[in-house]
Amino acid sequence: MSEFPVLLVCDDEFAPAYANPGDAGADLRSRVDGVVPARGRATFPTGVAIALPDGYVALVHPRSGLAAKHGITVMNSPGTVDSAYRGEVAVILFNSSDEDFAVNRGDRIAQVVFQKFEQARFIRVEELPDSHRGTGGFGSSGRS
């Protein structure tokens, strides 16, 4: 298990927390009350700032329950928190429903997943090697 310094801008209740053993995502909570308007978006601060080491990223994902029950998702899903960022993590929520959605201080609004990554070195080539799929794009592998 990796350890990352976490600065809580608010109370301890805002610390990212895993709901169950083995969960990949730790819940993030809103530190303010607000409303995500119908078919609109709103940004909510979480009270959390994270210091990630180089080679790690924090990815902010929607919560499946909010999406399934209320049509609430993370607008830029997944949101990316780079290792050099030290500010408070905020979540942009989008409401795909026709009804306003109230968010209360302390509500779980998203989840954060930590992931190792590698940066790519881009090399210009004249053509790419063949593959079994080739240039087949969206829907090229069939309907189901």
pLDDT tens per residue, range 101-124: 999 999 999 999 999 999 999 999
The first and second tokens of residue 59, run together, are 């990815």
Q: What architecture is domain 6-116? A: Distorted Sandwich (2.70)
- In the beta sheet, which residues pair with residue 7? 49
Predicted structure pTM score: 0.86
Rounded Cα gap, residues 24 and 78, in angstroms:
14
Please give the full DSSP string across 26-83, using - where no structure is assigned.
EEEE-SS-EEE-TT-EEEEE-SEEE-PPTTEEEEEE--HHHHHHH-EEETTSSEEE-T
Q: Which of 137 and 111 is assigned the larger pLDDT?
A: 111
Q: Which of 4 and 34 is assigned the larger pLDDT?
A: 34
What are the extents of the domains in the chain? 6-116
The answer to whether 89 and 54 are in contact (CB under 8 A) is no
How does residue 140 score in pLDDT terms, banded at 50, 70 and 90?
low
